Structure 1
């Protein structure tokens, strides 16, 4: 895959023990280096955040109005990972912090902690991690920040959309063409899903009921060089979710509400609902947004580096 060093990747594969010859220090160093190397610089600027509407004036997202009104904002330059965080990368994080034991007794969560070097496994180390809660996504980016000294963090939803739209282009999908050609991979009944079938189309946007996904980078990137910002897995952002936030979003670097709103468990904003299989009514477009409680399982994520100059 483009930009991937096979020797580094070999050191990221963790099963029940470390790969011979890599060792713990080598695994961590390789993971930190890879996370930094995978960052793509995004020059900041002004753009219209939210559902800008189709050429005929109708909205892309019709099932909710959370993405309206569209609002003009400006964001600073930053870098963002070209790939969603993988099982292999999360495995290094869990090993480094000795966190596996926290979930050993939770049978339903074991699938979030296993990692495999078998390309046919749903936990293949190059497939996107689907973490058991928001804290694991936030914690991974914070761990990268602590270990590298770089300002890693989860993206704000404004950063996420700006990058998905290749610096604010008026496109509904974060694909190579701006349109979507859905891979039929997960349409078939579960027992007939075959991971050996090569990818087709330019995005995986089917079935929130199936745990299986494609390895990161399986489809062409958007013009900015970012993969899977439409489809594969939905992604956490750092913003607290508020349905009508765009009505109050500040012009400079909006970061969501200062605190969670509403009753029940606090919710964070999730983007790329196509990664959950929610592509009806504009749900698969880059404009769709929604909230999920911080203990919600099965989402993916990618990290940013909040630095005004290129890191690489």
Structure 2
């Protein structure tokens, strides 16, 4: 009886904390129909876990900063010891901000629409002259992986594994292309904050937003979770690997609670001079478009260096096994 009472109290606490319980299950992770890094589709099992109903908002992150005095990666100037050969004039605090180009661009050159702006951070998401005033309920952005993990630990939580995140994003629709079914815009309804038009030069804003949107601006998925697709990419705890493991031939051997790849294998093979490991991002963002980045799907995944912060990456947290974690000091 004492155990039941404690568990009931814990469930109530999680409900107040804006979390949803996702029960244990087995599902098909990945996709054989889209990008190479999503292959092969394979079965995975996960235990039940609590996950934040929405991405962490500016208000929630501000509470963390006020309580701890935490300073994000984007708010600190780079240490030249971490970046051998960096030019002295580049040693300033800032972050990557999307800036819509005015003319035609080479879609293979992301530097034509991303700029590293001095003073850009979670408080000033679009540069020094901007602020989060009026964006209290928007997802916090310009958070590097370490920043997201620091917040999660302060809350007594963790970042989701890629498998947990994808299972939750599917909302019970196993193998469906989108978190809501088989069509991107069923009956013409926009189900997530994405890009409409030829990226990166023309956004028709048919969904009502040109950048981030308030959490809960679009319908929840089958588990009652908001913004699992679009709005902002979300950090996971898994190291990136170039592809998934193959599906097992026997049901008895389906991976249980997989933890992703290895740090040593997460580096970008196209840039061997860069020795910053990469984690998996999930969910796509308001910059995903049919002509450039069809990653507004649960199976989609993207590698991101752990020291990177941008204007379209955020996160949400989990608590595993139905047991409360100790809140970090």
TM-score by shorter chain over 0.5: yes
Q: 2:317 aligns with which of 270, 291, 303?
A: 303
The structure with the largest alpha-carbon Rg is 2
3-state DSSP class of the match of 1:153? coil
3-state DSSP class of the match of 2:178? coil
Q: 1:113 aligns with which of 122, 133, 150?
A: 122
Q: 2:136 aligns with which of 125, 138, 146?
A: 125
Per-residue CA deviation, residues 234-283 of structure 1 (Å, 9 max, x unaligned), is: 11111000112334896111111242413431000011124442544642
Per-residue CA deviation, residues 60-80 of structure 1 (Å, 9 max, x unaligned), is: x1xx31111111111101011
Structure 1 runs not aligned, ≥5 long: 1-32, 54-58, 146-151, 185-199
1:257 aligns with 2:246: no
Q: Is the 8 A contact 2:59 2:136 kept in 1?
A: yes
- Inter-partner Cα distance in structure 1 for 2:55 and 2:76: 25
Per-residue CA deviation, residues 34-56 of structure 1 (Å, 9 max, x unaligned), is: 885211000011111111x5xxx
Partner of 1:140: 151
> More helix by proportion, 1 or 2?
1
1:204 aligns with 2:204: no
Partner of 2:217: 218
Structure 2 runs not aligned, ≥5 long: 1-12, 78-92, 95-116, 126-130, 204-209, 249-253
1:170 aligns with 2:175: yes
Partner of 1:270: 281
3-state DSSP class of the match of 2:279? strand
- Inter-partner Cα distance in structure 2 for 1:222 and 1:38: 15
Q: Judging changes above 3 Å, is the alpha-carbon distance between structure 1 residues 136 and 181 closer, same or farther for their aligned structure 2 residues? A: same
Deviation at 1:202, TM superposition (A): 1.8
Q: Is the 8 A contact 2:138 2:212 kept in 1?
A: yes
Q: Judging changes above 3 Å, is the alpha-carbon distance between structure 1 residues 279 and 140 closer, same or farther for their aligned structure 2 residues? A: farther
- Inter-partner Cα distance in structure 1 for 2:14 and 2:23: 21
Partner of 1:6: none
Q: Is the 8 A contact 1:115 1:123 kept in 2?
A: no
**TM-score scaled by structure 1?**
0.68
Q: CA RMSD in A?
A: 3.3
Deviation at 1:308, TM superposition (A): 3.4
Per-residue CA deviation, residues 161-193 of structure 1 (Å, 9 max, x unaligned), is: 101111352222224x553239x9xxxxxxxxx
Q: 1:39 aligns with which of 2, 9, 19?
A: 19
Q: Is the 8 A contact 2:160 2:318 kept in 1?
A: yes
- Inter-partner Cα distance in structure 1 for 2:261 and 2:247: 9
